[in-house]
Structure 1
Amino acid sequence: MRALSCSLLLAATVALVGCSTPPTPSPTAPGAWPTQRSAAPTLSDEQAHGIAIHALGLVGTPYRYGGNTPDSGFDCSGLIGYVYRNQVGSAPPRTVAQLSSWGQVIDRSERRTGDLVVFGRGRNPSHAGIYVGEGRFVHAPSTGGEVRMDHLESKYWAKQNASFRRP
């Protein structure tokens, strides 16, 4: 009987700990986002479509390192955070390195609109964008540029070791 009581107490404790949400760290700088993944469920098809449409609507916005709004411009992770925050209500991690381990890895053949595209190998991811379908993605590429849509199979991007992640 005592073993049963201990087992029930342990199970209740595990259930309560599993249901608790860790405190959200406060941003350390304007525009910074928490580095923890939100507890939001996987995106619905409708949300994923909304993310792609919103990203496409930002094509032409100027690039700015550290930028995270249409008024200030975007860097690649700032663009992703802005779109996700506006379409889903929560933003992914702020840096490309953090994005490279956020969500679930998706096989290239299973990608869908709204998935993240992360470029680079191992611990050194270099760039990220939002997959919008038909082999295309939207991203904020470089200083002096602007948010644009590119094809994953173009001469340059096909060599960049793309991986896909789904929140």
Structure 2
Amino acid sequence: MSEVFADRVVAVARGFVGTPYRHQGSLKGVGCDCLGLIRGVWWELYGVEPEVPTPYAMDWAERAGEERLLDAATRHCGAMLPPSQLRPGDLLIFRWRAGVAAKHAGIAAPEERFIHAYEQAAVIESPLVPSWRRRIAGVFRFPEPF
């Protein structure tokens, strides 16, 4: 991903900061969850929905046990990258603990930060501190538009 496109990804994601948390939402300024943030950013970058998820409960990952986020990220962004290659603009997928499916997503920002929808609050930019870093289950790069 070029630095110009990476900067655009970060700028679009930062445009969602302050959007209230809304389960299954994906609208800037109206409401979104972490998946909705990624869907909304994708829409602004490419002008299409990556795919429309089926309705999901808040505990979907615990009940399903499938790696739905990692699988979708691979379908749309290509192969997972090692965390050592993390750059601003990359898609981050997090796993809360070993043995459960990954169920949180965000976008890497400069200066060791990331943008994500914080449950019961809003889209925020947080420091990517060690407690978050060790939960990274996957790093993906948004595809460069043609």
Contiguous gaps of at least 5 residues in structure 1: 1-42
1:80 counterpart (38, 43, 47): 38
Q: TM-score, normalised by structure 2?
A: 0.71
**What SS does structure 1 have at the residue aligned with 2:94?**
strand
1:47·1:88 contact (CA, 8 Å) conserved in 2? Answer: no
| Aligned-residue CA RMSD (Å) | 2.4
TM-score normalised to the size of structure 1? Answer: 0.63
Shift, 1:165, TM fit: 1.2
Is the alpha carbon distance of 1:129 and 1:87 closer, same or farther for their aligned partners in structure 2, counting shifts above 3 Å?
A: same
- Aligned equivalents of 2:23, 2:94: Cα separation in 1: 18
- Indicate the residue corresponding to 1:141 in structure 2: 118
- Note if 1:153 corresponds to 2:129: yes
2:85 alignment partner, one of 100, 110, 127: 110
Secondary structure of 1:58 counterpart: coil
Q: Any conservation in 1 of the 2:27–2:36 contact (CA below 8 Å)? A: yes
Matched residues in 2 for 1:114 and 1:161: separation?
A: 15
Which residue matches 2:6? 48
Specify the alignment match of 1:128 in structure 2: 105
Higher CA-based Rg: 1
- Seen in structure 2, the aligned counterparts of structure 1 residues 124 and 149 have a Cα distance that, compared at 3 Å, is same
% identity of equivalent residues: 34
- How far the C-alpha of 1:88 sits from its partner, in A, is 2.6
Q: Which runs of 5+ in 2 are unaligned?
A: 54-60, 62-66
Segments of 4+ in structure 1 off by > 3 A?
90-99
Q: How many residues align?
A: 123
Residue identity in the other structure for 2:68: Q
Structure 1 residue 44, shift from structure 2 partner = 3.9
